[in-house]
Structure 1
Amino acid sequence: MRPFHPLLAAVAVLAIYVLPAQAIEIKEVKSKGGITAWLVEDHTNPLIAMQFSFLGGATNDPKGKEGTANFITAMMDEGAGDLDSAAFQTQRDDLAMKMSFDSSFDQFQGSFQTLSAKRDESFALLRLALAKPRFDKDPMDRVRDQLLVSARQNEEEPENISSRAWMQKAFGDHPYARESEGTVASLATITQDDLRAMHKQLFSRKGLKVAVVGDIDADTLAKLLDETFGDLPDTEPPKPATMIHVVDKASTQVIDRDIPQSIITFGHDGILRADPNFIPAYVTSFILGGGGFGSRLTDEVREKRGLTYGVSIGLYPFDHAGLVFGQLGTRNEKAGEALTVVKDTMKKFADEGPTTAELTETKTYLTGSYALRFDSNSKIASQLLAIQQDNLGIDYINRRNGMIEAVTLDEAKAQAKSISDPDKLIVTVVGKPVGITPSAN
């Protein structure tokens, strides 16, 4: 009898409850003002979800003022136009409208939901927030205090310390090495003028991408696109970060902290999303360590030896860099053993590649679980926006599973050599690790 595999069991359950992503019909809607959106109509519930993004993000923070873009994400519902913070939030709550923002290194993203009955009023309030945020001093000071609490926690949180040190080793003085949420020092220097200047840079129709799902038709959406985004300038998006590779030099850094567990972050250069080999590399990385239970690293480090509660490694493609990035936590006295097992597992994986059974099971899981990304309007909108951001094409959801199924064992073995190279690992460890010696560089 073939052994039980948790990934396949999960797929069997998913297949019962979730419709396939391929059943979704996506329409491209273009407004009279030239704003384009992808639309999935769904009139079964009186709800509308929208995801949108602008080019630019934390990499555009001024040097010394890291966290500016992230600061704006927390200020977008703190007053706009003639409405101060309290009045704006009261109107938002009266409309039962949801609005939130997030910034990554390369994108500034917004999420919006409204009831169909409150559609026009909710879109009008969103328009006000996008075009005329106030950035008043009192709410800004309050938000700054909240961000400073998070920044202080980040400075003490071992996983964040390890990850941040790894990024600095990997990228040097490139913007990807910065603390995107800001530091205690940088957040203290950010002014109202800084927020206004960053807002002016980021909120451009030329960098805008929009995805809408729910109880709305194409003609109505086209009109609302102009009404909501039409007041934004049609200027060039901020200059993107330069293309960069992870430093091609293995190193080991130990950051001493008096804690019972060592946090080990490890990785090396990876692959861009636009690379034609990304799908084979993605499938292969899932077998190595992206799939949780059933992955090689989990099996060797956790299941066989009990060295950690969790270990993972995966592909992280930014717009202008790709990386293979992993992390685990283990008892200080077992840190050296755990890192050795990780390196040995990666070496064996690079030398031999995955087995036929591993590849088959992983492809079954990845294709079967894809539908989970489309089981709500918000999730669908989020997926459509990500597909736009990565320039994958409006038919991507119809092609994606076929691309995964087409990955051959030879392709997977070839990618195993590039995504699993222990001789190129940059390693940062936070704790008091036994058996790990920092390198001289």
Structure 2
Amino acid sequence: MTYRMLVAVALFAATTLAQAAIKIEHWTAPSGARVFFVENRTLPMLDVQVDFDAGSAREAPDQIGVAGMTASLMDAGIGSGKNALDENAIADRLADIGARLGGGAEADRASFSLRVLSSPAERDSALAILRDVLAHPTFPAAVLERERARAIAGLREAQTQPGSILGRRFTELAYGKHPYGHVSTVATLQKITRDQLVSFHRTHYVARTAVVTLVGDVSRADAEAIAQKLTAELPPGAPLPPLPDPVLPRATVERIANPATQAHIAIGVPALKRGDPDFFPLVVGNYALGGGGFESRLMKEIRDKRGLSYGAYSYFSPQKSMGLFQLGLETRAEKADEAVQVANDTLDAFLREGPTDAELQAAKDNLINGFALRLDSNAKILGQVAVIGYYGLPLDYLDHYAERVQAVTAEQVREAFARHVKRENLITVVVGGKAS
């Protein structure tokens, strides 16, 4: 079978699976890890993701940057003695068997993923590497120094970019001292030590907070064995205390001078936890407000009617604690005040009135019709099931997505936005033009 034929088969198989109900099997491994499994025999592939409660929100306030550096160095060296592999040997072995390993950390979690052929020889070899990456990383000091230098150089470059300046400052104002407000600086990166990485790994990469997700061409028995092998050598550990809710900020506007010709604008507030009952009204409403591209109200008011920007958007980013609602756009620096006013007026009108009947129906149609595209590959299914598993969403979440979207009313949208997006808490940051 040619590569082109294999791709065609993969797309057909994934689309077929997306259109059918996705059966998610769930159990707890003997190690204590939670496991979520979708069997798909159509292609000889296995996709695996392992998530840990090891994101930046778990860093100590004096160790900002440690979570990300820990995750980024876990595949830099594994094992000991004759079984030791450096980063080049790891990459070579994975390449030899056609496997792909990825990983990284965000605020809530650290995630590691593996894609490999499901034939036992290739599968078992790749899984052995992933097991050691999770349980036995060596954190080579020389690689830490190299990656620290790279991170500092990247940060210094980012600090000259208005979009990056906006994101960092907006996060600081929105979250204050909450763990989601952690922002690395050159000083915090320079303070990171190898001992801190080892300690963070030992404390946070533990079996009882691990969530293993498997999608692909293996049996339930194989999946059980794989999940246990991946987590058996981790320390047992214990669940960490829940993250606190952030103290909602008081409404403020901050303008940061920048010589860029374009002003970058963000307006928003911490607003939504995973599993909140308002999730579907907020998703549907946001599609009408700013999530629907050229059909959204923000785009029509800011781009189409006034030509203030090439694009405007809004989104909710639910997390364990309160993730952001954010509205954003770019405009000419001299038009920043006008653009902010139009964005606020549009948002205020939406908060008062909610979507029109036409906007509501268009949002539902687009969300429902586009949902299959979010499940049209094993990798996308893996990502969706991993979210369900890590955040404790119902196992039938994907099966009932369309009907829950369809059931949303305009009144539910208005009420949900009133609960989660309040004018007295909205932060506005403008980078470009003159400072406030």
Q: TM-score, normalised to structure 1's length?
A: 0.90
Does the aligned pair in 2 maintain the 1:56–1:240 contact within 8 Å? no
The one of 33, 39, 42 equivalent to 2:40 is 42
* Pairwise CA RMSD: 2.1
Asked if residue 155 in structure 1 is aligned to residue 155 in structure 2, the reply is: no
Partner residue in 2 for 1:320: 321
TM-superposition CA deviations, 1:60-83 (whole Å, max 9, x none) = 223233111111222122110011
Identity of counterpart residues, as a percentage?
A: 33
TM-superposition CA deviations, 1:242-264 (whole Å, max 9, x none) = 222421x2111111111111111
Q: Distance in 1 between matches of 2:42 and 2:61?
A: 48
Partner residue in 2 for 1:199: 201
Q: Distance in 2 between matches of 1:237 and 1:98?
A: 29
Once the two structures are superposed, the pairs formed by residues 386-397 of structure 1 within 5 Å of their partners are 386-397=387-398
Partner residue in 2 for 1:4: none
Partner residue in 2 for 1:51: 49
For 1:59, the aligned partner's letter is: A
Partner residue in 2 for 1:80: 78
Does the aligned pair in 2 maintain the 1:31–1:222 contact within 8 Å? yes
Q: Distance in 1 between matches of 2:147 and 2:275?
A: 37
Partner residue in 2 for 1:65: 63
Does the aligned pair in 1 maintain the 2:15–2:377 contact within 8 Å? no
Q: CA deviation at 1:48?
A: 0.5
TM-superposition CA deviations, 1:101-156 (whole Å, max 9, x none) = 12111211111111123011111111111111011112222222222222222222
Point out the more displaced range, 82-91 or 349-358: 82-91
Asked if residue 168 in structure 1 is aligned to residue 181 in structure 2, the reply is: no
Q: Distance in 2 between matches of 1:365 and 1:401?
A: 11
Q: CA deviation at 1:100?
A: 1.2
Does the aligned pair in 1 maintain the 2:175–2:270 contact within 8 Å? no
Partner residue in 2 for 1:7: none
Distance 1:21 1:212, change over 3 A: farther
Does the aligned pair in 2 maintain the 1:262–1:430 contact within 8 Å? yes
Partner residue in 2 for 1:212: 214
For 1:258, the aligned partner's letter is: P
Q: Distance in 2 between matches of 1:71 and 1:326?
A: 30
Q: CA deviation at 1:420?
A: 5.2
For 1:36, the aligned partner's letter is: R
Q: Distance in 2 between matches of 1:240 and 1:302?
A: 42
TM-superposition CA deviations, 1:176-216 (whole Å, max 9, x none) = 1111xx32221111111011011112211111112111111
Classify the secondary structure of the residue corresponding to 2:398.
helix
Unaligned runs of at least 5 residues, structure 1? 1-13
Distance 1:246 1:424, change over 3 A: closer
Q: TM-score, normalised to structure 2's length?
A: 0.91
For 1:241, the aligned partner's letter is: L
Q: Distance in 2 between matches of 1:238 and 1:27?
A: 25
Q: Distance in 2 between matches of 1:420 and 1:184?
A: 34
Q: Distance in 1 between matches of 2:72 and 2:323?
A: 28
Q: Distance in 1 between matches of 2:423 and 2:301?
A: 15
Distance 1:97 1:400, change over 3 A: same
Q: Distance in 2 between matches of 1:75 and 1:114?
A: 21
Partner residue in 1 for 2:5: none
Partner residue in 1 for 2:104: 102
Distance 1:169 1:36, change over 3 A: closer
Q: Distance in 1 between matches of 2:270 and 2:31?
A: 42
Alignment coverage as a number of residue pairs:
418
Unaligned runs of at least 5 residues, structure 2? 1-10
Asked if residue 121 in structure 1 is aligned to residue 125 in structure 2, the reply is: yes
Point out the more displaced range, 131-140 or 422-431: 422-431
Classify the secondary structure of the residue corresponding to 1:86.
helix
Partner residue in 2 for 1:329: 330
